[in-house]
Amino acid sequence: MAGRADLWYQNAVIYAVDVDAFQDSDGDGVGDFQGLISRLDYLNHLGVDCLWLLPFYPSPNRDNGYDVMDYYGVDPRHGTLGDFVEFLRAADERGIRVLVDLVANHTSDQHPWFQRARVDPDSTYRDYYVWSTDPPQPDPGRGSVFPGEAGAGRVWTYDTEAGAYYYHRFYEFQPDLNLYNPAVREEIRKVVSFWLRLGVAGFRIDAATLMIEEKRPGNGQPEDPHELLRELRAHARRHGGDVVLLAEADDDPSRLGEYFAGGEFDRGDRSRPGGGVDLLLNFYLDAHLFLALATGRAGPVERALATLPPPPDGSGWANFLRNYDELNLGRLHRAEQEQVYERFAPDAHARIYGRGIRRRLAPILDGDRDRIELALSLLFSMPGTPLLFYGDEIGMGEDLSLPGRTAVRTPMQWSDAENAGFSTAPASRLVRPVVDEGPFSYERVNVADEWADPASLLNFVEHLVGTRHETPAIGRVDPEVVQTDAPSVFAHCYEGSAETVAMAHEFAGEPRTVTLDVGPKDASPMGLLGVGELRTVEVGVEVDLGPYGYRWLRVGDG
Ligand code: GLC
């Protein structure tokens, strides 16, 4: 098949795990590495071949571990570094690669660097952070990332010990690192080497957009903002040519192309090489997928694909539906946000930060199996690497009584045993409560029951993962939109020299027959996913789609 280079991460299925909510092995109510090891066979059976671990480092844990106190350790609640290495080995035996979160935009205020920086103005650590005795007014658009939560938009907080203000784009307990200090960059490189030496396959780069921006508001944009991640990737790749950097950059789509390794940063007067990112989390597409699901129209998907820059060879998108943060609608127009809110979060309590929804996939879609399958099929058909959030494969729900983004981080539901099989601790000691009420309670939604039921969502997802692995063109060929006369149907294809893979998705809940002008006209189509008759007609393939139906097919000699 013609297309891009063949790289492992372009045909991988990534699964995001929060170690503390996955499996507790020692009965203290908190998930740990031994617990995760015991669930690797489950992940292997599901077919996922890459795990992204949310932060598990020592941390005061005021932001789900994104407030790191020690970059070189494992929080004792999750086990030891030895347990981590054993986990890596066990994952490796099953052919599962592991990405870890690199939270380098900021540390916890409890990190020894910050503690030294506060008390001693002459310490070398002082300049690891960003200080001011007279902080400027923050630019509009560069306030707190968590409006309403973190000190009402404050980004400078006064530290009495230091006698100065320090800068933080997130919570006030997460001081930003001064990433323009070469000593800080050296520290980050050491951290990267450390985890690569232990055997991780790469990193999910937290807050990449904020990492590369000028830390002192008012100083303008740095000359070469992408140098930081470009250097980091060059450094990481010295440890192995297929190390991957997966970045969180919820930036304007016109700027996303710059982040990729091989991309270009053009500031008008001068252009420079782009960044060091192999995979970019696709927030823009995510918001548009939900807009399509909310409106019953294919247009938003088409618009998103047309707007996003094509990744350079070797780079790609990491696509997802939900993750452990809010479903961010910030990149949609106001009226579109309202449409999604009305449909998927009519209750204001389910909304957050004036831009997002703090619900999981299954409840957003009313637990409707047809629409959940449609959404997942669509996700796996999008150009790039699909990413699943733990629990979405069984259709878990959220707990809106928990604060903020925590709502979607409840423990994995393994069975209908006490505490959903997650832990033997008394319920009051669990890291977060299990969902034990309503249609998504662990008695109704759990792994054990779903494995036993061939018609379950879990078995569908396993099939979907397998089908995606057998369709590598999705990861490495640019897609083309296929026009149909039905505004509720999105159709696209990946055209290779010998065969074409095409997909059609119906959003309005109405049966439709569409004709796809794809593939060699004399070849008969083969169905890959979904149900419905396929007929070869003069102009291509005729596909019958049921309400919320989806169909993947292959035409050609493949
Ligand atoms: C990223 C993470 C989020 C975290 C923040 C601060 O946006 O996704 O969960 O709170 O960074 O590290």
Q: Which runs of E-coded beta strand occur in 429-539?
A: 480-482, 489-495, 499-506, 512-516, 526-529, 534-537
- Which residue's alpha carbon is nearest to atom 6 within ligand 1? 66
* 104-115 exposure pattern, b = at least 16 Cβ within 10 A, e = fewer: bbbbbbbbebbb
> At residue 124, does pLDDT exceed 80?
yes
Establish whether residue 68 lines the binding site of ligand 1, counting it when its CB lies within 6 angstroms of any ligand atom. Answer: no
Q: Tokens 């200090």 sit at which residue?
A: 181
Is the pLDDT confidence value at 219 over 70?
no
Which structure tokens are listed for 60? 């005061």
Convert the pLDDT of each residue in 366-424 to its tens digit: 999 999 999 999 999 999 999 999 999 999 999 999 999 999 999 999 999 999 999 99
In the chain, what percentage of residues exceed pLDDT 70? 97
The reported pLDDT for the residue numbered 497 is 74
Distance CA 442, CA 436 (A): 6
Write the class of the CATH domain 480-556.
Answer: mainly beta
Mean pLDDT over the full length of the chain: 94
Residue 8: exposure state from Cβ atoms within 10 A (0-12, 13-18, ≥19) = middle
- E strands present in 18-171: 50-53, 97-102, 131-132, 156-159, 164-167
Q: How far apart are CA 357 and CA 354, in angstroms?
A: 9
Which is more confidently placed, 140 or 342? 342
The amino acid present at 73, given as its one-letter code, is G
Q: Where are the domains of the chain?
A: 112-167, 480-556
Q: What is the pLDDT of residue 138?
A: 72
Closest-lying ligand 1 atom to the alpha carbon of residue 63: 10
Q: What's the average model confidence in pLDDT over 434-463? A: 98
Residue 5 has pLDDT above 70, yes or no: no
Dihedral (CA of 115, 121, 124, 128) sign? positive
Beta-bridge partners for 492: 481, 503
**For tokens 């997942």, what's the residue?**
376
Question: With contact defined as beta carbons under 8 Å apart, do 380 and 464 qualify?
Answer: yes
In one letter, which amino acid is 339? Q
* Residue 291 Cα to ligand 1 middle (Å): 24
Q: Looking at the whole model, is its pTM more than 0.85? A: yes
Please give the pLDDT value at position 558.
Answer: 47
Question: What is d(CA 126, CA 393) in angstroms, rounded to the nearest whole number?
Answer: 46
Q: What is the mean pLDDT of residues 116-145?
A: 89
Quote the ligand 1 centre to 54 CA distance (angstroms): 10
- In testing the pocket of ligand 1, which one of 20, 59, 66, 169 has its CB within 8 Å of the most ligand atoms? 66
Q: Is the pLDDT of residue 340 over 80?
A: yes
- Separation of alpha carbons 268 and 508, rounded Å: 43
User: In the prediction, which pLDDT does 535 show?
Assistant: 94
Residues in the chain: 558
Count of C-beta atoms within a 10 Å radius of residue 27: 11
The predicted structure's pLDDT at residue 186 = 98
Question: What is the Cα–Cα distance from 187 to 179, expressed in whole angstroms?
Answer: 10
Ligand 1 atom at shortest distance from the alpha carbon of 324: 9
Is residue 1 over pLDDT 50? no
pLDDT digits (tens, 9 = 90+) for 32-91: 999 999 999 999 999 999 999 999 999 999 999 999 999 999 999 999 999 999 999 999
| Buried/exposed code over 174-206 (b: 16+ C-beta within 10 A; e: otherwise) | bbbbbbbbeebbebbeebbeebbeebbbbbbbb
Q: Report pLDDT for 270.
A: 77
Return d(Cα 196, Cα 236) in angstroms, integer: 8
Side-by-side strand order, sheet with 489-495:
480-482, 489-495, 499-506, 550-556, 526-529
Strand pairing category for 489-495 and 480-482: antiparallel
Distance CA 97, CA 196 (A): 12
Centre of ligand 1 to C-alpha 523, Å, is 49
For residue 55, give the DSSP letter: P
- Is residue 249 within 6 Å of ligand 1 at its C-beta? no
Regarding predicted confidence, which is higher, 221 or 244? 244
- Position 22 pLDDT exceeds 80: yes
Q: Is 18 close to ligand 1, i.e. is its CB under 6 Å away? A: no
Count of CB atoms within 10 A of residue 520's CB?
A: 11
CA atoms of 159 and 156, how far apart (whole Å): 10
Considering the domain delimited by 112-167, tell me its CATH architecture. Answer: Alpha-Beta Complex (3.90)
Question: How far, in Å, from the CA of 207 to the mean position of ligand 1?
Answer: 7
- What count of other Cβ atoms lies within 10 Å of the Cβ of residue 435? 25
Contact status, residue 315 vs residue 5, Cβ threshold 8 Å = no
Backbone angles phi, psi at 102, to 5 degrees: -110, 105
SS3 label, residue 233: helix
Q: Does 67 contact ligand 1 (Cβ within 6 A)?
A: no
Residue nearest to atom 12 of ligand 1 (CA): 66
Short-list 222, 224, 235, 282, CA closest to 257: 282
pLDDT confidence of residue 557 = 61
98, pLDDT greater than 60? yes
Confidence class for position 3, pLDDT limits 50, 70, 90: very low
> Predicted confidence band at 2 (pLDDT cuts at 50, 70, 90)?
very low
pLDDT at 218: 60
The DSSP annotation for 362-394 comes to: HHHTTT-HHHHHHHHHHHHHSSSEEEEETTTTT
Q: In this predicted model, what pLDDT tens digit does every residue of 250-309 receive, in sequence order?
A: 999 999 999 999 999 987 777 889 999 999 999 999 999 999 999 999 999 999 999 999
For the beta carbon of residue 3, count every other beta carbon within 10 angstroms: 17
Q: How far is the CA of 38 from the centre of ligand 1 (A)?
A: 28
Nearest to 276 by CA among 236, 308, 317: 236
The pLDDT of 233-251, averaged and rounded, is: 96
Q: Which of 109, 177, 206, 322 should be mutated for ligand 1, with most atoms under 8 A from CB?
A: 206
Percent of the chain with pLDDT over 90: 87
- Dihedrals phi, psi of 84, to nearest 5 degrees: -65, -45
- Closest residue (by CA) to atom 7 of ligand 1? 207
Q: Using a 6 Å cutoff on CB, does residue 63 contact ligand 1?
A: yes
pLDDT at 220 > cutoff 90: no
List, by residue number, the catalytic residues: 206, 248
Q: Which of 134-143, 296-305, 345-354 has the lowest mean pLDDT?
A: 134-143
- For residue 16, the CA-to-ligand 1 centroid distance in Å is 14
Q: What is the pLDDT of residue 534?
A: 94
pLDDT at position 463 over 70: yes
Q: Which two tokens stand for residue 200?
A: 């991780």
